[in-house]
């Protein structure tokens, strides 16, 4: 078992000021795999103070130099990507093959795209030809608290750190206590890349402790948080007294609208997308809405696809899915599966309990419910596990109504060969992202939601703008 790791404050590895030990559990075995220290208010104060002291000089550093440091970080990241994949697989249960590719690869992808976006971003630009003496200047917000989740650790760490660094913010990263080891490796990379002392700081902790200390801290100018809607609400309330900027990427309950003219791979694609990362993705297409004419066929196919999804330890190579992250999540998922049965949904694949032959580890059976209506609990709540709900619809208008009838608004999906219909739906679906016919978002496309799925956007130009203030200047002297 790995020993507890120190915190990184003001360019140095330091011990916690009185924090308590926390065991990191390997979800494949239910055994401890590492011990970390959960930080205290004093740790948070020290990290914020370091970031505050470093801010003036980092803000004044030419953006070309900030970009160059992130570029160097990219090179170091590539050298240690496999190590990152191993850490994430161990601590949060992503199968090792997927962790070394998708989980680790997400980080380098985002860093590279920030560099591209920044090189074309005008941080000092004219207002317009009508006002030659007016300028718009983009300046860093200040000290940013970055609070990241366990489900896609490097994806979220790089989306926040990369944007904050290029924008000129200084920062304090608090990774999830469920998946803290990858953040230690990433911090070593930041140190090797040569970021000045205090620009980047990292302290371990839980939401109730360090998360609360950072989100309410008077010297933190911005909180960027990814996690549950419940936690996002708590952070917003805690941050309100200091009127700091709060950027939230929260839960989802994505609808996947499959029309009777959808391509032949649409149902299979939707099921496998739902099961990816063991269903632990906020943008998972967890509600499959199927037009009545192909409904029975789609249910049969979805059940067959789910039954072929294999479950196994995260340490094994292959295309299987791993466990969910911890016992609490496992229990919540089991309760929601039971609730689906109780409320009358038709169980067509999977169900309660662990897969056959597994009596240890937080494994969940790939589960599909049919004949779900949008008032059922499994259609309303984010399950965050490999559980799919299938809902029938008759008309396009009904599909839109069902899809939008949710407090969430992160990602919706459309499967149709009718381009006019696809374009109509893109404007009618109330979500921050809409993906058509299996086409993923391109490099630099913004990630974020509406309603209770949060605010702000991450990635590319929009990700940079979230860490920037806009200053209007009149009377700018011509050079």
Q: Is 428 exposed, middle or buried (0-12, 13-18, 19+ CB in 10 A)?
A: middle
CA neighbor of 159 nearest in space, from 428, 369, 463 = 463
Catalytic entry in 177, 249, 382, 458: 249
Q: Residue 77 and residue 477: Cα distance in Å, rounded?
A: 43
| CA pair distance 202, 183, nearest whole angstrom | 8
The two tokens of residue 165 are: 């660094």
- Is 249 part of the annotated catalytic residue set? yes
The two tokens of residue 298 are: 């789609």
> Which among 169, 282, 382, 458 is annotated as catalytic?
282
80: Cβ contacts below 8 Å, ≥ 6 apart: 185, 189
Residue whose C-alpha is closest to residue 219's, from 180, 168, 172: 172
User: By CB neighbour count within 10 A (0-12 exposed, 13-18 middle, 19+ buried), where does 476 fall?
Assistant: middle
- Residue 399, C-beta contacts closer than 8 angstroms, at least 6 positions apart: 255, 257, 259, 289, 291, 393, 425
Secondary structure (DSSP) of 402-428 = HHH-SS--SEEEEE-S-HHHHHHHHHH
Distance CA(305)–CA(315), nearest Å, equals 23
Which two structure tokens, joined as six digits, stand for 206? Answer: 């839980």
Name the strands in the sheet holding 222-226, side by side, starting at the edge strand that comes first in the sequence.
Answer: 12-14, 7-9, 200-202, 170-174, 143-147, 222-226, 245-249
The pair of three-digit structure tokens given for residue 364, joined into one six-digit string: 């969940």
CB 114 within 8 A of CB 460: yes
- Residue pair 223/235 in contact (Cβ under 8 Å)? The answer is yes
Tracing tokens 């302290």 back to the chain, one arrives at: 203
| CB distance 102 to 89 below 8 Å | no
Q: Which two tokens stand for residue 196?
A: 């000045």
Residues belonging to the active site: 249, 282
């Amino acid at each position: 078992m790995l020993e507890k790791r120190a915190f990184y404050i003001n360019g140095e590895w330091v011990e916690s000021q009185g924090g308590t030990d926390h065991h990191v559990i390997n979800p494949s075995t239910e055994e401890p795999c590492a011990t970390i220290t959960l930080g205290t208010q004093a740790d948070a104060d020290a990290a914020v103070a370091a970031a505050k002291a470093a801010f003036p000089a980092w803000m004044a550093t030419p953006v070309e130099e900030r970009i160059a440091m992130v570029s160097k970080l990219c090179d170091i990241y590539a050298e240690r990507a496999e190590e990152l994949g191993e850490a994430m697989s161990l601590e949060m249960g992503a199968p090792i093959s997927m962790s070394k590719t998708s989980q680790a690869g997400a980080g380098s992808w985002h860093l590279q795209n920030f560099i591209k976006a920044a090189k074309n971003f005008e941080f000092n630009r004219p207002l317009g030809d009508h006002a030659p003496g007016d300028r718009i200047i983009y300046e860093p917000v200040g000290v940013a608290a970055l609070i990241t989740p366990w489900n896609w650790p490097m994806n979220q760490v790089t989306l926040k750190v990369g944007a904050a660094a290029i924008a000129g913010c200084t920062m304090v990263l608090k990774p999830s206590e469920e998946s803290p080891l990858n953040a230690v490796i990433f911090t070593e990379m930041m140190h090797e890349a040569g970021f000045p002392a205090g620009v980047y700081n990292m302290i371990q902790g839980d939401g109730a402790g360090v998360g609360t200390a950072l989100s309410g801290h008077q010297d933190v100018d911005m909180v960027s948080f990814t996690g549950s809607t419940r936690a996002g609400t708590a952070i917003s309330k805690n941050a309100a007294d200091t009127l700091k900027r709060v950027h939230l990427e929260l839960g989802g309950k994505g609808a996947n609208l499959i029309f009777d003219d959808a391509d032949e791979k649409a149902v299979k694609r939707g099921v496998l997308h739902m099961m990816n990362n063991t269903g632990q993705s906020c943008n998972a297409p967890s509600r499959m809405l199927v037009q009545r004419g192909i409904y029975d066929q789609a249910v049969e196919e979805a059940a067959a696809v789910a039954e072929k999804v294999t479950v196994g330890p995260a340490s094994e190579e292959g295309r299987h899915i791993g466990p969910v992250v911890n016992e609490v999540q496992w229990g919540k998922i089991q309760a929601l599966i039971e609730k689906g049965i109780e409320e009358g949904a038709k169980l067509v694949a999977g169900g309660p309990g662990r897969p056959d032959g597994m009596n240890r580890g937080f494994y969940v059976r790939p589960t599909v419910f049919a004949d779900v209506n949008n008032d059922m609990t499994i259609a309303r709540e984010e399950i965050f596990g490999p559980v799919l709900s299938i809902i029938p619809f008759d008309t396009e208008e009904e599909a839109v109504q069902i899809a939008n009838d949710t407090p969430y608004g992160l990602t919706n999906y459309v499967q149709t060969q009718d381009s006019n219909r696809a374009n109509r739906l893109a404007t009618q679906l109330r979500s921050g992202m809409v993906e058509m016919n299996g086409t993923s978002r391109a490099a630099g496309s913004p990630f974020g939601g509406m309603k209770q799925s949060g605010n702000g956007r991450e990635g590319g130009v929009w990700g940079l703008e979230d860490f920037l203030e806009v200053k209007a200047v009149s009377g700018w002297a011509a050079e």
